[in-house]
Amino acid sequence: MPTYRLVVEYDGSAFHGLQYQPALRTVAGALEDALARLFHQVVKISAAGRTDAGVHATGQVISFRAERAFPIERLRLALNACTPADLVVRDAALVADGFSARFDALERVYDYLIVNRPYPSAIWRARAWIVPRALDDARLVQAAAPLVGEHDFVTFCGELPERGGTVREVFAIDAARSGDLVRITVRGNAFLHRMVRIIVGTLVDVATGYRDLELTARALAARDRTAAGTTAPAHGLYLAGVRYDAFDTYRPVALRP
């Protein structure tokens, strides 16, 4: 059976997350429905990263196998004719047997968008977290430093994984600003449930002066969720890219409307 790889983007606002749930609208459900129409069989997908309700993606990677072949040069166009407007296939390719979007990923990249100004935004209200208190960008980056590296991130976990531990490696945490818009980029090998959102919320607590600069190091050592800060809202988070051997889907979320 041929193995296919898709790169997809979606607006998570109206999805109840990525994972298939029979009674709810999910990314996996919408995509599997479209694939079933094209391949005339039940198709189950594997994703590079699960995203919660309200979380967006610009570089999510999907893999699946199908008994029937479909002309690869037509697959992207055909899928985009079958998927809803808030779910788009960027790229479609045939890959080697055994490829897994989840298990072959070397790095996952999340972007988090913040509008930092003392009044709301009509444009960004469903796409970014509105933070009215002034953010000290340098203080944010300084607070992020203890989180880079391989650590037990149980403090920064929403729900514990069913299998495996809570040790993950964060490769880098960076921040970029364009006027009122701030983009926090977190790179790592894998992430726990709500890990990026808890990291971002904790960094914002420090960067606004609400919490002290030593909070992140202290929280990491505590191994207790109550030691960390705020959980940032889902609608500011984007799975922006996934890196594989010789393939990278990262596309930074633009710092403009």
Cα distance between residue 108 and residue 39, in whole Å: 29
Domain 3-95 is found in CATH 3.30.70.580: yes
**What pLDDT, on a 0 to 100 scale, did the predictor assign at position 254?**
85
pLDDT in tens, 44-80: 999 999 999 999 999 999 999 999 889 999 999 999 9
Residues facing 110 on adjacent strands: 186, 239
Phi/psi for 169 (5° steps) reads: -115, 125
Residue 142: strand, helix, or coil: helix
Told to judge if 224 belongs to the known catalytic residues of this protein, a careful annotator would answer no
Cβ 146 vs Cβ 217: under 8 Å: yes
DSSP state of 85: T
Give the count of beta carbons closer than 10 Å to the beta carbon of residue 220: 20
**Identity of the residue numbered 41:** Q
Residue among 52, 137, 152, 248 flagged as catalytic? 52
232 Cα distance to chain centroid: 13
pLDDT in tens, 213-242: 999 999 999 999 999 999 999 999 999 999
Show binding-site residues for substrate: 110
DSSP state of 24: S
pTM of the model: 0.95
Enter the CATH code of domain 107-245: 3.30.70.660
Give the count of beta carbons closer than 10 Å to the beta carbon of residue 146: 16
Q: Longest Cα pair distance anywhere in the chain, in angstroms? A: 58
> Where do you find CATH 3.30.70.660 in the chain?
107-245
> Where do you find CATH 3.30.70.580 in the chain?
3-95
Cβ 9 vs Cβ 60: under 8 Å: yes
